[in-house]
Structure 1
């Protein structure tokens, strides 16, 4: 079995999760680590037991090595440069979410991937939950008929991060990019990635800017709440809502309304940090008519102990080793980035705006 060599760019907490997953794959060698903070890559490699891994203070130096692929685990603002450079260096890329800070960056990434002929896979591990796969199977089966309305989103009663997450120049967006991207991915992946055309949105940071609720209120530059109505080419409309903080226990379930049936999906767990679609599914219920009578069917959930993060990393490593397509291709996530960009533009303009995707 061919050994593939992987580099890690960025050495924060998410990088540790990548390394732990790669260590479980006998055909993978984590051969290098890079971090812009001097000495941190070396400390990280030693702490993770990567005795033979080279350590660099620049990803440019790491990319000179004969690596098969890289995991990019940097803050959002560094995703663009490190991804573009890695693709142009001929490396396959597993990039943590969100894909980029701006839509233009995401467009450039996809173009660079196509030009390089390498893989660009984006890290949305909830797709590996067997019940997320079941959700997509139900929606794609046609059982719901013509799906005309979807309502998706989630929120935390209190769950506002700090640091790089709340600086616009570093994160690009707040709750929309941090946990909203998971909600969008769940819905768009189930629907088959339809193309959006317009969005009308509202966004605010009434909690983040209030020192009563956030210790870094004076540095809070992104949104902690957003809501939008998005129209798609196939005459589908999607209501999207997300919150880092609110005086409410939930923003409600995810709904798929079709001409033959409707599907209600609730997230797993309870408490102030539940309600975001970065975890498992709690329940699925199909609402339909049988013999002229309203009825509903509880969809049995699949019991499992799947390590979703490991599955994401393994799927990427196998694609690199076996020459398979990107597990979660950048072209799909580009649609998400276009929607988030449209939400922010609409909220700022206080009117409906167009969403334009490259052909």
Structure 2
């Protein structure tokens, strides 16, 4: 008999609605509680999402006193750390939305809490569930490219700046780097097998976000809307990383893996002012190599799948709980992703290269 997985949702903003929708599609899941620190929001969410058997809480610690198998952490970025650590310490499995946390030290504490408790900490990078992402990793890991020595990743929106909690440093920790840049990093680092980052030299700016001509909340905008970095990785690999919420340009270019035997170029799917970043699917893949002294350019067909990647993320979290298997996207791995973002912000602030130190 299939066990019913009891889930709590912490945070009741827009992303929580996507979690609730995905959980409702699973016959073996019951959403038993919702928590939000703003009085009345959890109850309103329960009514709007028709989760009539769920209990509302204004304090997530009260929710964690319930008998739960797992929780979705859907709070603003600044609260990811506290709520995740409390949930893990309470013996609950955790699916936390990206970015993992605001600071590197917080991510380390989250991973430590997961290890101590024996409960999984998985991070919400749904593009991983695109079969094309698996294909990219398969190509990179197959040896077809030879020794990979340089990777370029990132992306830019012509116009695509969010507002609210995303643009306040006290709430988000970082801007474009944390919001969409983490997806680009995961796409590249996952394909490489998540090598350890060593150093970062970076620049960031917010020329668009702080200009009322481009953003209606310019007076409150204090995070970066653009960033670029050169990152040294173990294995003598260099990663060129760039991200932008807004710019006077159509594209920041494709993701590229340069190897000693071949190169792979990948472009993101989507069109329009909010496209051009790795928060969705793959648009095209092209392999470049030499055969008989001829320059060969081969198109790799994109896999058409029709999957709802967000739903797949939630479904895999539930399946991992059900089957007692490791975290699908483990926090210990995404720790490197967070370390790079932390390094970018430190380097940009100090205007020099910085070293990444990890336990």
Range class of TM-score, shorter chain: over 0.9
1:350 aligns with 2:351: yes
Please state how far the C-alpha of 1:46 moved relative to its aligned partner: 1.6
Distance 1:146 1:284 in 2: 19
Please state how far the C-alpha of 1:24 moved relative to its aligned partner: 1.2
Please state how far the C-alpha of 1:196 moved relative to its aligned partner: 0.8
- 1:237 is aligned to 238
Distance 1:24 1:162 in 2: 30
Residue 199 of structure 1 aligns to a residue in which SS? strand
Please state how far the C-alpha of 1:25 moved relative to its aligned partner: 1.0
Please state how far the C-alpha of 1:209 moved relative to its aligned partner: 1.3
- 1:340 is aligned to 341
Distance 1:51 1:210 in 2: 44
Normalization by structure 1: what TM-score?
A: 0.99
Please state how far the C-alpha of 1:95 moved relative to its aligned partner: 0.4
Q: Residue deviations 1:263-302, cap 9 Å, x none?
A: 0001112221111100110000000001111111100111
Q: Any unmatched runs of 5+ in structure 2?
A: none
- 2:134 is aligned to 133
Normalization by structure 2: what TM-score?
A: 0.99
Please state how far the C-alpha of 1:215 moved relative to its aligned partner: 1.3
Residue 306 of structure 1 aligns to a residue in which SS? coil
Q: Residue deviations 1:101-152, cap 9 Å, x none?
A: 1111001000010000001000000000011111111111110000000000
Please state how far the C-alpha of 1:75 moved relative to its aligned partner: 0.5
Residue 84 of structure 1 aligns to a residue in which SS? helix
Residue 22 of structure 1 aligns to a residue in which SS? helix
Residue 284 of structure 1 aligns to a residue in which SS? strand
Q: Residue deviations 1:233-285, cap 9 Å, x none?
A: 21000000000111000000010000000000011122211111001100000
Q: Residue deviations 1:313-338, cap 9 Å, x none?
A: 00000111110100000011100110
- 1:299 is aligned to 300
1:125-274 to 2 correspondences below 5 Å: 125-274=126-275
Q: Any unmatched runs of 5+ in structure 1?
A: none
Please state how far the C-alpha of 1:7 moved relative to its aligned partner: 0.3
- 1:122 is aligned to 123
Runs of 4+ residues over 3 Å off in structure 1: none
Q: Residue deviations 1:30-50, cap 9 Å, x none?
A: 111111111111111122121
Residue 159 of structure 2 aligns to a residue in which SS? coil
Q: How many pairs align?
A: 358
Distance 1:168 1:48 in 2: 30
Please state how far the C-alpha of 1:219 moved relative to its aligned partner: 1.2
